[in-house]
Amino acid sequence: MSFSSLVHDLSLRDANAAHPNRGVASTVSTMDDRTSRTSHISRAMSYTSTAATSVSICGDISSQLHGGYCHPLARSWQAERQLTKSMLIYPLFVSDQDDEELLIPSLPNQYRRGVNRLIPFLEPLVHKGLRSVILFGVPVRPGVKDALGTAADDPEGPVIRSIRLLRQRFPHLFIVTDVCLCEYTSHGHCGILRDDGSLNNQLSVDRVSDVAIAYAQAGAHCVAPSDMNDGRIRAIKLKLIEEGMSHRVVLMSYAAKFSGCLYGPFRDAAGSAPSFGDRRCYQLPPGGRGLARRAIVRDINEGADIIMVKPAGQYLDIISDAKELGKDLPIAAYQVSGEFAMVHAGAKAGVFDLKAMAFESTESILRAGATIVVSYFAPEFMDWLSV
Ligand SMILES: [Zn+2]
Highest mean pLDDT of the ranges 72-76, 251-255, 277-281: 251-255
Reduced 3-state DSSP string for the chain: CCHHHHHHHHHHHHHHHHCCCCCCCCCCCCHHHHHHHHHHHHHHHHHHHHHHCCCCCCCCHHHCCHHHHCCHHHHHCCCCCCCCHHHEEEEEEEECCCCCEEECCCCCCCEEEEHHHHHHHHHHHHHHCCCEEEEEEECCCCCCCECCCHHHHCCCCHHHHHHHHHHHHCCCCEEEEEECCCCCECCCCCCCECCCCCECHHHHHHHHHHHHHHHHHHCCCEEEECCCCCCHHHHHHHHHHHCCCCCCCEEEEEEEEECCCCCHHHHHHHCCCCCCCCCCCCCECCCCHHHHHHHHHHHHHCCCCEEEEECCHHHHHHHHHHHHHCCCCCEEEECCHHHHHHHHHHHHCCCCCHHHHHHHHHHHHHHHCCCEEECCCHHHHHHHCCC
Who surrounds ion ligand 1 at CB < 5 A?
180, 182, 190
pLDDT at 20: 43
pLDDT tier at 269 (50, 70, 90 boundaries)? confident
Per-residue model confidence as pLDDT tens digits over 35-52: 455 555 555 455 445 555
- Tell me the CA–centroid distance for residue 370 and ligand 1, in Å: 23
Which comes out higher in pLDDT, residue 368 or 59? 368
- Tell me the CA–centroid distance for residue 97 and ligand 1, in Å: 21
Res. 74: pLDDT tops 50? yes
Residues annotated within a binding site for 5-aminolevulinate? 267, 279, 337, 376
pLDDT at 40: 52
Average pLDDT of the residues in 157-179: 98
pLDDT tier at 263 (50, 70, 90 boundaries)? very high
pLDDT-above-70 percentage for the chain: 85
Res. 355: pLDDT tops 80? yes
- Tell me the CA–centroid distance for residue 182 and ligand 1, in Å: 4
- Tell me the CA–centroid distance for residue 267 and ligand 1, in Å: 10
- Tell me the CA–centroid distance for residue 183 and ligand 1, in Å: 7
pLDDT at 58: 66
pLDDT at 370: 98
Residues annotated within a binding site for Zn(2+)? 180, 182, 190
Q: Which of 23-37, 146-160, 263-277 has the lowest mean pLDDT?
A: 23-37
- Tell me the CA–centroid distance for residue 174 and ligand 1, in Å: 22
Per-residue model confidence as pLDDT tens digits over 225-262: 999 999 999 999 999 999 999 999 999 999 999 999 99
Average pLDDT of the residues in 265-293: 88
- Tell me the CA–centroid distance for residue 377 and ligand 1, in Å: 22
Name the residues annotated as catalytic.
257, 310
- The whole model's pTM is what? 0.85
- Tell me the CA–centroid distance for residue 289 and ligand 1, in Å: 21
pLDDT-above-90 percentage for the chain: 78
Q: Which of 58-62, 143-147, 170-174, 226-230 has the lowest mean pLDDT?
A: 58-62
